[in-house]
């Protein structure tokens, strides 16, 4: 499919010459002699040219006015202006409006080809970014927080309300694996800043020495090895959202600097002297209780109150086990597609195991378990033998209690003599048998007379 190029030129001879030239270059060329014709092509006919080449002065106005009117329509690609009468003011205005370049007539065709090819590459990159953002917008909606439980419905309702609010800061709380990253993406891609970038930072994954430079950037010579200027992640998120995961891991000095950036909407790169304005929506997350860390002075109270304009607490999987019926088939379908499997049947025994598990790792743990079982399944039946679930705390307690009914542990460190060990064994058997000698003898696999001898030997009698 040919790339489309729109040529706006009122001189018919030049318009025809340029149209034939770019057709030979492989473009599908649309032409217009006036601003009205160009606007009809862009608005009514919904043309989506990759590059627009326009004369500046046209019979019915200045082409910069058309660019200004169409600026919100990013789908119209890069704009390139050719003019014989342009001055400094026009060129400055063109660049401020987002024009790719501004060239004077007459322009050498080789030079024009070079500029147009650069504009094509830029427009393609922007179009890919827009398509990716559109796909993410469709993917990350409040409905992406799957579940039929009341807790899941409550989270979806809050995500819907928050995505419509132009909030400045928000804190996501909850155990690890509950979906804080998913919630942050939903809030960005469904929110008012979805056209801007989303920058994700795991504050616990970066060393402290690098975190300041990563967040706020640096100037050449700011520290050993800083040879070039670097735009920090806060600066890169300008116009969009920065997601600060595990914000509780920030040191106190970085907490203070982050608070200043949020409050003043300006930052100073490491080693820099000038202030840089940033317009950023901050979503923070922590699996720690930040309120307790504030009380223990491990987290700044002023930053805590600044990032908790809104707080969204995500429920753990133990609180919404009925959501397993929605989550498990979803993950099975995902890994079927990724691994080329065709798992369709999930046995009742698997469901029983899944519901009995505590899921301390929450949805992340569930996803990993499903991935393992699907990848190791050779048939359409879910391979339950690969669940490998650790028993829940309640199940472990029951197992330990069952074990104590048939087992007795004795130290072999020399602290007990052989007679003391025998006394303890007999005493424990009597207690478990309710001091019924016959039942206790049966537990020990010995005769009633032998046991009675040892009871008398060690003076073991019921307290009653």
What are the contacts of 403-407 at 24+ separation with CB within 8 A? 405/432
User: Across all residues in the chain, what is the average pLDDT?
Assistant: 86
Highest averaged pLDDT of the listed ranges 32-36, 280-284, 426-430: 280-284
DSSP 8-state symbol, 250: S
Specify the domain boundaries for CATH 1.10.8.60 within the chain. Answer: 317-386
What is d(CA 197, CA 181) in angstroms, rounded to the nearest whole number? 15
pLDDT category, 171, cuts 50, 70, 90? very high
Record: fold of 408-458 = Arc Repressor Mutant, subunit A (1.10.10)
- The mean per-residue pLDDT over the stretch 392-415 comes to 56
CA distance 62 to 138: 38
> What pLDDT does residue 400 have?
44
Average pLDDT, integer, range 364-371: 94
Distance CA 416, CA 424 (A): 10
CA angle 435, 438, 444 (to 5 degrees): 90
pLDDT(434) > 90: no
pTM: 0.63
For domain 145-313, give the fold: Rossmann fold (3.40.50)
Q: What is the pLDDT of residue 69?
A: 84
Residues of each domain in the chain carrying CATH 3.40.50.300: 145-313
CB 159 within 8 A of CB 189: no
Decide which of 3.40.50.1370, 3.20.20.140, 1.10.8.60, 3.40.50.12280 is the CATH code for 317-386: 1.10.8.60
Q: How far apart are CA 372 and CA 364, in angstroms?
A: 13
Q: What is the pLDDT of residue 457?
A: 82
pLDDT digits 0-9 by tens, 68-114: 888 766 556 889 988 776 566 777 777 777 888 888 887 888 889 99
Which of 68, 25, 33, 69 has the alpha carbon at shortest distance from 50? 25
* Gap between the Cα atoms of 32 and 384, Å rounded: 66
Let me know if domain 4-135 sits in CATH 3.40.50.620: no
- Delimit the CATH 1.10.10.60 region(s) of the chain: 408-458
What is the 8-class DSSP label of residue 1?
A: -
Nearest-10 crossing angle of helices 150-163, 180-189? 40
Write 124-130 long-range contacts (CB < 8 A, 24+).
124/50, 126/74, 126/77, 126/78, 127/50, 127/75, 127/77, 130/74, 130/75
Short-list 420, 414, 331, 409, CA closest to 377 = 331
Residue 214 has pLDDT above 50, yes or no: yes
- The Cα–Cα gap between 408 and 428 comes to 8
Q: In this structure, are strands 57-58 and 61-62 parallel, antiparallel, or unpaired? A: antiparallel
Handedness of CA 157, 159, 160, 161 (dihedral sign): positive
Q: What is the pLDDT of residues 2-46, one digit of tens each?
A: 689 999 999 999 899 999 999 998 899 999 999 999 999 988 888
Quote the Cα angle for 18-23-25, to 5°: 100
Range with lowest mean pLDDT among 100-109, 393-402, 408-417: 393-402
Mean pLDDT of 394-399: 47
């Amino acid at each position: 499919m040919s790339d489309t190029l729109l040529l706006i030129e009122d001189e018919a001879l030049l318009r025809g010459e340029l149209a034939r030239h770019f057709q030979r270059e492989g473009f599908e060329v649309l032409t217009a002699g006036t601003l009205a014709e160009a606007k009809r092509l862009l608005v009514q006919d919904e043309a989506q040219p990759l590059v627009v080449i326009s004369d500046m002065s046209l019979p019915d106005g200045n082409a910069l006015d058309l660019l200004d009117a169409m600026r919100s329509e990013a789908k119209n690609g890069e704009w390139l202006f050719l003019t014989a009468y342009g001055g400094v003011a026009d060129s400055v205005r063109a660049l401020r409006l987002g024009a790719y370049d501004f060239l004077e007539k007459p322009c050498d065709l080789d030079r024009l080809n070079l500029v147009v090819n650069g504009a094509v590459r830029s427009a393609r990159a922007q179009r890919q970014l827009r398509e990716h953002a559109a796909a993410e917008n469709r993917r990350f909606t409040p409905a992406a927080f799957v579940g039929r439980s009341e807790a899941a419905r409550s989270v979806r309702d809050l995500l819907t309300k928050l995505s419509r609010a132009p909030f400045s800061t928000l804190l996501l709380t909850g155990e690890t694996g509950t979906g804080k990253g998913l919630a942050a993406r939903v809030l960005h891609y469904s929110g008012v800043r979805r056209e801007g970038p989303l920058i994700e930072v795991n504050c616990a994954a970066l060393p402290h020495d690098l975190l300041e430079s990563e967040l706020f950037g640096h100037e050449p010579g700011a520290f050993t090895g800083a040879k070039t200027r670097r735009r920090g992640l806060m600066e890169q998120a300008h116009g969009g959202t920065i997601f600060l995961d595990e914000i509780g891991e920030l040191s106190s000095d970085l907490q203070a600097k982050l608070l200043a950036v949020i409050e003043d909407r300006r930052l100073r790169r490491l080693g820099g002297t000038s202030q840089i304005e940033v317009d950023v929506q901050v979503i923070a997350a922590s699996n720690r209780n930040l309120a307790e860390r504030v009380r223990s002075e491990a987290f700044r109270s002023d930053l805590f109150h600044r990032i908790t304009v809104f707080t969204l607490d995500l429920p753990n999987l133990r609180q919404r086990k009925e959501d397993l019926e929605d989550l498990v088939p979803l993950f099975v379908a995902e890994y079927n597609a990724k691994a080329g499997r065709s798992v369709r049947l999930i046995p009742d025994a698997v469901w029983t195991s899944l519901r009995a598990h505590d899921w301390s790792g929450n949805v992340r743990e569930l996803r990993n378990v499903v991935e393992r079982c699907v990848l190791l399944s050779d048939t359409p039946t879910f391979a339950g033998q690969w669940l490998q679930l650790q028993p829940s705390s309640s199940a472990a307690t029951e197992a330990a209690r069952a074990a104590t009914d048939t087992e007795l542990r004795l130290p072999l460190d020399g602290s007990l003599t052989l007679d003391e060990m025998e006394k303890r064994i007999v005493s424990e058997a009597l207690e478990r048998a309710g001091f019924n000698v016959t039942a206790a003898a049966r537990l020990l696999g010995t005769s009633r007379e032998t046991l009675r001898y040892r009871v008398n030997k060690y003076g073991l009698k019921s307290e009653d």
